[in-house]
Amino acid sequence: MSKVRRCPWCNKVVVGHPNKKFCNTKHKDKYHNTKNPRGIYKHLHPDNISIEDEMHPCDPHSLGQE
């Protein structure tokens, strides 16, 4: 006998594929946005790397010798 799966957002019974965890995609998105809101890991995005982060530690410019 299989265990009844319930949506973590609304607690409705989830039907369908055995790996399905949410009753619909809107509830999946809402749940994940509350657990990991936009912006927490923004500093890890490759577009946010500064010039100083790209310099080699032994580069004379990064050591202030130029």
Q: What is the pLDDT of residues 16-59, one digit of tens each?
A: 999 999 999 999 988 887 777 666 666 565 555 555 555 566 66
The rounded distance, in Å, linking the Cα atoms of 19 and 26 is 17
Q: Which residues contact 8 (CB under 8 A, 6 or more apart)?
A: 21, 22, 27, 31
The rounded distance, in Å, linking the Cα atoms of 17 and 14 is 9
Domain boundaries, the chain: 1-34
Q: State residue 40's pLDDT score.
A: 60
pTM over 0.75: no
The rounded distance, in Å, linking the Cα atoms of 63 and 56 is 10
| pLDDT beyond 80 at 61 | no
